[in-house]
């Protein structure tokens, strides 16, 4: 049985929702950031990068949300979460998810994880990064609003693995200081996602999950 290592309020939620969407049988284990459990020797054996999420499969451990999402789609093809046999359509989907991980999530991370990119004691530079987050994250969501979100779902009529990923990053918009009035289609997408039973179940499970 697969096992998803997650922390609430992280991008692990995207894969969690996808596992619900395909009806997978899986377990979850919560990793506690407050005690720095993601850097513990036990967890580093699972994911040497010391990050969540990680997905333990019968073949080994997978990391990185775009890869995990495509894995879920490809492992459960009947759920139709990705156009696996159409190289161009699959690449469009992957380009969207790649933008989320390499641009939008990175812009967001400068609010809480600035010490990845400057010396951890440099409070001035870390504060400078934090001040810029509303602008950079809003710009990222505006790009999605205007050029990438086809509607009603990210890739158009078909719900895909892009949708839980966008929804997950859209959880952080208020805390990032995003001007929601500028991205009504993204906000509407988030609302429709939040009404799905699969999404409600994944969120409830994460927030209610016991610490290991």
Task: Tell me if 40 contacts a copy of itself by CB under 8 A.
Answer: no
Task: Tell me if 42 contacts a copy of itself by CB under 8 A.
Answer: no
Task: Tell me if 18 contacts a copy of itself by CB under 8 A.
Answer: no
Task: Tell me if 113 contacts a copy of itself by CB under 8 A.
Answer: no
* Rounded distance between C-alpha atoms, residue 186 and residue 73, angstroms: 23
Binding residues for a copy of itself, rule CB under 8 A, total 47
Interface residue with a copy of itself, options 65, 138, 160, 168 (CB under 8 A) = 65
Task: Tell me if 57 contacts a copy of itself by CB under 8 A.
Answer: yes
Cα radius of gyration rounded to whole Å, the chain: 17
Residue 172 CB neighbours (<10 A): 20
In the complex, the smallest distance separating the C-beta of residue 160 from a copy of itself, rounded to whole angstroms, is 13
Q: Is there a contact between 98 and 162 (Cβ–Cβ < 8 Å)?
A: no
Complex with a copy of itself: residue 31 or 70, whichever CB lies closer: 70
Complex with a copy of itself: residue 31 or 73, whichever CB lies closer: 73
Give buried/exposed letters for 97-136 (b at 16+ CB in 10 A, else e): bebbbebbbbbbbbbbebeeeeeeeeeeebeebeeebbeb
Task: Tell me if 129 contacts a copy of itself by CB under 8 A.
Answer: yes
Nearest to 68 by CA among 7, 16, 8: 16
Task: Tell me if 131 contacts a copy of itself by CB under 8 A.
Answer: yes
**DSSP reduced 3-state for 47:** coil
Complex with a copy of itself: residue 50 or 152, whichever CB lies closer: 50
* Rounded distance between C-alpha atoms, residue 20 and residue 70, angstroms: 14
Task: Tell me if 212 contacts a copy of itself by CB under 8 A.
Answer: no
Q: Is there a contact between 59 and 34 (Cβ–Cβ < 8 Å)?
A: no
Task: Tell me if 68 contacts a copy of itself by CB under 8 A.
Answer: yes
Task: Tell me if 24 contacts a copy of itself by CB under 8 A.
Answer: no
Give the footprint of a copy of itself on residues 82-111 (CB under 8 A).
Answer: 87-88, 90-95, 98-99, 101-102, 105-107, 110
Q: H helices within the chain, ranges in order?
A: 12-22, 41-46, 65-75, 87-99, 105-112, 123-143, 162-170, 184-194, 197-208
Q: Please give the residue ranges that form the binding site for a copy of itself (CB under 8 A).
A: 48-49, 57, 59-60, 62-68, 70-71, 74-75, 87-88, 90-95, 98-99, 101-102, 105-107, 110, 116-119, 122, 124-125, 128-129, 131-132, 136, 143, 146-147
């Amino acid at each position: 049985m697969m096992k998803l290592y997650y922390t609430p309020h992280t991008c692990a939620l995207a894969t969690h929702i996808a596992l619900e969407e395909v009806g997978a049988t899986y377990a979850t284990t919560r990793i506690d950031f407050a005690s720095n459990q993601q850097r513990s020797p036990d967890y580093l054996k699972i994911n040497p990068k010391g990050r969540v999420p990680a997905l333990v499969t019968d073949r080994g451990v997978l990391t990185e949300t775009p890869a995990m999402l495509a894995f879920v789609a490809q492992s459960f093809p009947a759920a139709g979460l990705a156009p696996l046999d159409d190289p161009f359509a699959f690449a469009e989907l992957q380009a969207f998810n790649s933008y989320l991980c390499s641009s939008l999530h990175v812009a967001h991370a400068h609010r809480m994880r600035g010490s990845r990119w400057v010396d951890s004691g440099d409070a001035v530079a870390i504060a400078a990064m934090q001040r810029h987050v509303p602008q950079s994250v809003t710009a990222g969501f505006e790009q999605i609003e205007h050029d990438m979100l086809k509607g009603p779902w990210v890739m158009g009529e078909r719900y895909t693995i892009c949708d839980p990923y966008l929804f997950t990053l859209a959880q952080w918009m208020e805390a990032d200081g995003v001007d929601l009035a500028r991205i009504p289609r993204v906000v509407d997408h988030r609302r429709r996602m939040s009404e799905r039973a699969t999404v409600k179940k994944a969120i409830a499970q994460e927030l209610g999950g016991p610490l290991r």
